[in-house]
Amino acid sequence: MSGTPLLSLAVWVPILAGLVVLATGSDRNAPLARALSLIGAVAGLLVTIPLYTGFDLHTPAMQFVELKPWIPRFNVNYHLGVDGISMLFVILNSFITVTVVLAGWQVIDSKVAQYHAGFLIMSGLLNGIFSALDGVLFYVFFEASLIPLYLIIGIWGGPNRVYAAFKFFLFTLFGSLLFLIALLYLFISSGGSFSILDWHRMPIGMTAQTWLFLAFLVAFAVKVPMWPVHTWLPDAHVEAPTGGSIVLAAIALKLGAYGFLRFSLPIAPDASHELAGFVMALSLIAIIYIGFVALVQEDMKKLVAYSSIAHMGFVTLGFFIFSPLGVEGALVQMISHGFVSGAMFFSIGVMYDRAHSRLIADYGGVVNTMPKFAAFFMLFAMANAGLPATSGFVGEFMVILAAVEHNFWVAFAAASTMIVGAAYTLWMYKRVVFGSVANHHVAELRDINGREFLIFVLFAIGALGMGLYPQPFTEVMHSSVDELLRHVALSKIQ
Amino acid sequence: MTLAEMQFQVPDLRLASAEIFMLLMACLILVGDLLAKDQNRTLTFVATQLTLIGAAVITFASSSGDTAYTFSNMFVGDLMADLLKLLLYLTVIVILFYSRGYILERPQMARGEYYSLALFATLGMMVMISASHLVTIYIGLELLSLSLYAMVAMNRDSVPATEAAMKYFVLGALASGLLLYGMSMIYGATGTLEIPAIAERLYLGQFDKGILVFGLVFVVAGLAFKLGVVPFHMWIPDVYHGAPTAVTLFIATAPKLAAFAMVMRLLVNGLIVVSHDWQQMLIILSVLSMAIGNVAAIAQTNLKRMLAYSAISHMGFMLLGIVTGVVGGDARFALNAYSSAMFYVITYVLTSAGTFGMILLLARGGLESDELDDFRGLNKRSPWFAGVMMMMMFSMAGIPFFVGFFAKFSVLQAVVAAGQLWLAIVAVAFSLVGCFYYLRVVKIMYFDQPANMSPIEAPLDMKILMSANGLAVALLGIFPQVLMSLCAFSLLRSL
């Protein structure tokens, strides 16, 4: 297998499949478009499996590396590779793509080919982001992935979709343009290299590190999103179609956090230590304040969107504790959140498809008409609240443990969210699912069909599997995380 | 001195063979067209295209890659000139294909003059590109400008077009005057009109600095007018908007290549020693252009007008590459910076041709389709051409994987290399502003419902060329290396 360019396959199989789907054209060929996109998504997932099975646990180095010159004029290379940090996200993304294709199977009935092609192309681009080891290649994938999501929100979204699509695009672009200047600065000061690994090794003075860190912070904080630049996310989630919300929550939010690990920490370690308190403060605000904001939401999607921001606060908090437990906990939290928030948005999508409302007040007593759905929704609500034995618990618990070692009061503040998180999730669940049947819309609800059942099972395997036995996920991270922290502990100032 | 004693040298005509061929053919086509009975002027069209192809063959075959002068150092042939000329022919060929259908639907325009004027304008641009003498530059510029004035006024029953032509002519004449005045000052300061000689005198310090800088201000103002950068941009929106779209397409594309060459010849080849002075001026023009161009474009409802403001901002961005060539007297990064600017111009011309071509593609039955609303729901009417237009818009906005991103990338890279981080930050900030109105076009095409569902009627050749144009924007965005290194190599051999 060593000769197979697995990462290139992971990137280009979905993109090519997307172009093929696009070529099926009008909605007359919708069944063909759906079938082809499912084939493409599954093929995209299959090619990522060897990344896990062939992964060497004992080296922190990049694996499955591909290196070819791309633009020699600027020494830009087509340089792909994954380590323990990024590998799982490639697989997670390919997995989510399959669920998204299934989730849009019946619901989307206009411009079917464009819809599925958008997701497949985005899937390839996102894989590119997680496996790029060249600054320009990373940036190109990072920005290009905005286009499909912009179109998906704008074409298939809700009533206020235009506003949400523009806000999403311009907010993210605002962050990434400063990031581009940071990349160019690194290119010039490294004497003409765009290799991220070269930048990791390069000594940089404190002032430059601080500016670089801030430029990275703007780019990634918008993407995570961290308080106070989170406002685009609830809008984007509320307006996006179900598939868009799933990808946004499960994968797109991870890009920012991943960027911290790939760029901020190793390239500007001294500035990271210096400004860790600042980032931790922002994270705690996200965890606590946004948690309370989630509590008062009337729209289910908005509630889950705010809960995503709070959960991502745990991730950034975990990173800036600089302990193995913290970073690994944060990574586990990221993957877990991929399953759980994806499933939450899918659950809301299932209800929305039937009753065409996302407002909590329009529901009540759903368990009476949709018992199977209620059971799955229960599981994911519990996982979202961080109940032990679900994946949501593992990551949060690891981060809180790491925080206790770091500072008791930080840990105390973060742990308080367990209560808030349980409160807003379970209260929503109670109002939507329990009680007597609220109105004739709820009375007319039909329980989930086989396709929806399959998607729920896929998500449940992820959420429960990770909660009960997190070892397969954490063991691949160890060497890379240890190496990263060893690297971050060393000063780059000379 | 008797007549026998006069030295008479036959100039080396080979260097200018493409220009001579173009001139002969343009005159022939002009005269031949008088005899044409065919209302559609098919023969004129074919002859024009063949002339351009012939010129391309001549330029390609006679290109030696070396820098050589002829006509008493008034005319230069070098690799930069050859590359720009080849791109110029290609651009004009594409423009004529795009314009053909539009012109046929307007009988008052469907005379052969459009084609012969296009050839004369092309000849003017070729002379500008190869000029190594202030007078040659001026002759080329005037040949181009006069042809364009006439082309703008060609739709003679149209009031906006006549008004645009008048405005263009008056302001253009003023700018030519400024340029000439500045050139005369440079002559006064250095005692020569030959560009290489000017550079030499400046290098040796044999010039009057006060007069030179005085003249430089006028030269820069004249150049800025031709490039269309703030505060000499006033004509751009009106002319773009008022001119028949086929002519707007012409003005918005090919002359940018020639204007770039003019900037290179005058400022870089001739006045590099005083680069500090003109760079300061151009930085101000550049920042103002990006600011006013991008902000004003947001308010437009007419696509041609919006693209006019976008052109202003793009030329401002391109100037960033010109102003970062020399840093504190150190010309190490010059090649990097100027080739980035060249790459920027070429990709802009490519994208701009596609965008205006799309307006022509949608125009039917003698009506214009240049309002933003005409693009409403285009994705429902023709997913393919909506996709092509979307690629153009994202390319102009500088989003990868489209070529516009690498254009912005290479210019920004030059700016950062020159240590002017603040300039790079200003540039990306205004790019973000600019992104809004490009996104709005995408929104109109994809998110809105179409006003009518009429299919797109355009000749097949245009549809194919339009698709190729779109694919070029995408493919050059994925593989920009060839064009980038071509720009760098041609400048390396020419500077």
Residue B2 has a pLDDT of 64
Residue type, A454: L
Cα radius of gyration rounded to whole Å, chain A: 21
Q: pTM score, two decimals?
A: 0.92
* Best residue of B384, B401, B476 to probe chain A, by most A CBs closer than 10 Å: B401
CB contact under 8 A, A162 and B447: yes
Average pLDDT of every residue of chain A: 86
Residue B37 has a pLDDT of 79
pLDDT tens digits for range A348-367: 888 888 888 888 888 888 88
Taking the CA of residue A184 and the nearest CA in chain B, the distance in Å comes to: 6
Residue B158 has a pLDDT of 84
Q: Note whether A156 contacts B: Cβ–Cβ < 8 A.
A: no
pLDDT at B79 exceeding the cut of 60:
yes
CB contact under 8 A, B417 and A165: no
pLDDT tens digits for range B419-474: 888 999 999 999 999 899 999 999 998 888 887 777 777 788 888 999 999 999 99
More confident residue, B64 or A280: A280
Task: Name which of A253-262, A280-289, B362-371 the model is least confident about.
Answer: B362-371
pLDDT tens digits for range A142-182: 999 899 989 988 888 878 888 988 988 998 888 888 899 99
Chain B nearest-CA residue for A159: B447
Q: Sorting pLDDT into bands at 50, 70 and 90, what band is A52? A: confident
Percent of chain A exceeding pLDDT 90 equals 8
pLDDT tens digits for range B290-326: 999 999 999 998 999 999 999 999 999 999 999 988 8
Q: Report the pLDDT averaged over residues B24-41.
A: 86
Which structure tokens are listed for B359? 């307006």
Q: Note whether A422 contacts B: Cβ–Cβ < 8 A.
A: no
**Spatial CA neighbour of B371 closest among B426, B425, B302:** B302
**Per-residue DSSP letters for B357-400?**
HHHHHH--TT----BGGGGTTHHHH-HHHHHHHHHHHHHHHT-T
CB contact under 8 A, B416 and A144: no
Residue A30 has a pLDDT of 80
Alpha-helical (H) ranges within B71-133 are: 79-104, 113-129
Chain B nearest-CA residue for A174: B432
3-state per-residue secondary structure call for chain A: CCCCCHHHHHHHHHHHHHHHHHHCCCHHHHHHHHHHHHHHHHHHHHCCHHHHHCCCCCCCCCEEEEEEEEEHHHCEEEEEEECCCCHHHHHHHHHHHHHHHHHCCCCCCCCHHHHHHHHHHHHHHHHHHHHECEHHHHHHHHHHCHHHHHHHHHHHCCCCHHHHHHHHHHHHHHHHHHHHHHHHHHHHHCCCCCEHHHHHHCCCCHHHHHHHHHHHHHHHHHHCCCCCCCCHHHHHHHHCCHHHHHHHHHHHHHHHHHHHHHHHHHHCHHHHHHCHHHHHHHHHHHHHHHHHHHHCCCEHHHHHHHHHHHHHHHHHHHHCCCCHHHHHHHHHHHHHHHHHHHHHHHHHHHHHHHHCCCEHHHCCCHHHHCHHHHHHHHHHHHHHHCCCCCHHHHHHHHHHHHHHHHCHHHHHHHHHHHHHHHHHHHHHHHHHHCCCCCCHHHHCCCCCCHHHHHHHHHHHHHHHHHHHCCHHHHHCCHHHHHHHHHHHHCCCCC
pLDDT at B16 exceeding the cut of 80:
yes
Q: Note whether B400 contacts A: Cβ–Cβ < 8 A.
A: yes
pLDDT at A193 exceeding the cut of 50:
yes
CB contact under 8 A, B428 and A177: yes
Residue B137 has a pLDDT of 93
Q: Note whether B427 contacts A: Cβ–Cβ < 8 A.
A: no
pLDDT at A199 exceeding the cut of 90:
no
Helix, strand and coil in chain B, % to nearest 5: 75, 5, 20
Residue A50 has a pLDDT of 87
Which residues make beta-bridge pairs with A68?
A: A78
pLDDT tens digits for range B472-484: 999 998 898 888 8
Largest CA distance in chain A: 71
Q: Note whether A277 contacts B: Cβ–Cβ < 8 A.
A: no
Reduced to 3 states, what is the DSSP secondary structure of residue B355?
helix
pLDDT tens digits for range A418-430: 788 888 888 888 8
pLDDT tens digits for range A72-104: 888 888 999 888 888 889 988 999 999 888 888
Residue B69 has a pLDDT of 86
Residue B4 has a pLDDT of 60
Cα radius of gyration rounded to whole Å, chain B: 22
CB contact under 8 A, B429 and A177: yes
Q: Sorting pLDDT into bands at 50, 70 and 90, what band is B91? A: very high
Residue A1 has a pLDDT of 42
Which structure tokens are listed for B338? 């100027």
CB contact under 8 A, B425 and A181: yes
ipTM of the complex in this document: 0.89
Q: Report the pLDDT averaged over residues A189-203.
A: 86
Which structure tokens are listed for B192? 């020569």
Q: Note whether B417 contacts A: Cβ–Cβ < 8 A.
A: yes
Residue A71 has a pLDDT of 86
Residue B3 has a pLDDT of 61
Q: Out of B31-40, B139-148, B370-379, give the one with best mean pLDDT.
A: B139-148
Chain A segment 114-143 residues within 8 A of B by beta carbon are 114, 136, 139-141, 143
pLDDT at B367 exceeding the cut of 80:
no
Q: Sorting pLDDT into bands at 50, 70 and 90, what band is B5? A: low
Q: Report the pLDDT averaged over residues A338-355.
A: 88
Taking the CA of residue B481 and the nearest CA in chain A, the distance in Å comes to: 5
Q: Report the pLDDT averaged over residues B19-26.
A: 93
Q: Report the pLDDT averaged over residues B163-185.
A: 92
Average pLDDT of every residue of chain B: 88
Q: Sorting pLDDT into bands at 50, 70 and 90, what band is A2? A: low
**Could you say which of A173, A174, A184 has the minimum Cβ distance to residue B412?**
A184
Largest CA distance in chain B: 81
Contacts of B416 in chain A (CB under 8 A): 181, 184-185, 187-188
pLDDT at A494 exceeding the cut of 80:
no
